[in-house]
Structure formats: structure tokens, C-alpha cells
A and B are shown apart, each in its own frame.
Chain A
Amino acid sequence: DAKTTQPNSMESNEEEPVHLPCNHSTISGTDYIHWYRQLPSQGPEYVIHGLTSNVNNRMASLAIAEDRKSSTLILHRATLRDAAVYYCTEANFGNEKLTFGTGTRLTIIP
């Protein structure tokens, strides 16, 4: 199973950028990197995913290291609604189940 490691918790001030790191120690060349977030009592919500290149969408940016052993989720301007647990994980054809670690609990300070 995919093994990722993330800090247990992070804090950030409202309206400032947030960089959430993830280590992908066992990632293979065909694994896509996925990020999800979960608010209390809600299902995980898709944030972004990528393979090798950096990716942007309306929610966030994903920076992937050249060796793909690490990735960083970037929230450009944190709001109180971004307070959640953020999970990084991996998926590829043939190993499609997402394995979730403990994630990073992000606290936004007003």
C-alpha cells in the first residue's frame, strides 16, 4: 500500500498562503499524487491531483518534486473555510484504492 507522511498539524493566518508538505517514500512512476480534504462530519473532498508537472486549479496548486518523493499543496490565500484535515495519497491503474494516513489538520487563525 502507498505510504505517505505528513505533519500532524499546521497553523496559518487567514489570507496568507499555506504550504502543506507530503512525503511519498514508496511512490512508483505511474502513481498519481492526489490531495483531499475533510471537514468535520463530512466526506473527503477532492482538491487536486497530478503526475509529474505542477498543477493549478481553482482551489489550490500542487507542486511535485522532480524525483516525485515529495509534493506540496499550496493554498494561495487561506480562508476560515479552508480549516480541515488534508490528506495526500496515491493512485494508479491496478492499485486504485486510496490509502489515507492521518493527514494534516490545518487550523486557520483569524
Chain B
Amino acid sequence: DSGVTQTPKHLITATGQRVTLRCSPRSGDLSVYWYQQSLDQGLQFLIQYYNGEERAKGNILERFSAQQFPDLHSELNLSSLELGDSALYFCASRRGTFGGYGYTFGSGTRLTVV
């Protein structure tokens, strides 16, 4: 157990639907990062939050959004789902923004869009 909790572990949904993925960071970690991993794209950075504020954005589609709540857990919302959104979604957390802090990843949510 890495200390980063992601739910659900598996999700199967139909095209056009909307889902919410949840991440609870390791205790005391203020930064949360979301990554998407598909077979053909590898690990792609989506978005980062630090202490409730959006801090960096990567290749995140407009259909996707995220937020970090006061208790520091984060949710990634995926809407108007397409077959190509099927992937593993990972959340990572770290203590702060200093480059010397390591990143702790959760075990991921496997999303299958049918």
C-alpha cells in the first residue's frame, strides 16, 4: 500500500457517459497529480493541484476536469466518454513543490469505455 488511494479500481461505462475518479493523497501531501496511461501513449501528465489550487496543466482534454477539495482529496471528472478514453488513470501525490520530493503513485483506476 503506497498510501495513495484511488477508487474505483475498475470502471466500465458506455460512450457518452460521465464518470468521476477519486484520489486520496498520502497523509500530509499537498500536491496531487493525475496521469493517463494508454497502450499507445504511455504515461501522460494531465493536471496538478497544490493545496486546492490548480498548478499545472498537461494534455488534458476539455471534456475532462479535476479539482482538489479542502481535505486534499482530488477528483477527476471525465465526460462525453469516447472509446479512446479507455486507459489506466493514476494519481500521484507528494509533500510539496520542491524538486527533491519523491512522488507516490496510487494503484490506478482502469477505465473501459464500451
Contacts and interface: CB of A to CB of B under 8 A. Distances in A.
Interface of A: 30-32, 34, 36, 41-46, 49, 51, 87, 91-94, 96-103
Majority SS of interface residues in chain B?
strand
Majority SS of interface residues in chain A?
loop
A93 B107 contact: no
B90 A97 contact: no
Query: A34, A91, A103: which has the most chain B beta carbons within 10 Å?
Result: A91
Contact of B55 (A49, A51, A96): A96
21 contacts: A31-B99, A32-B99, A32-B100, A36-B105, A41-B108, A42-B107, A43-B2, A43-B90, A43-B92, A43-B105, A43-B106, A46-B103, A46-B104, A92-B99, A93-B97, A96-B33, A96-B48, A96-B99, A98-B45, A99-B45, A100-B42
B31 interface: yes
Interface of B: 2, 4, 31, 33, 35, 42-43, 45, 48, 55-56, 58, 88, 90, 92, 94, 97-100, 102-108, 110
A49 B56 CA distance: 22
Contacts of B45: 97-99
A96 B94 CA distance: 10
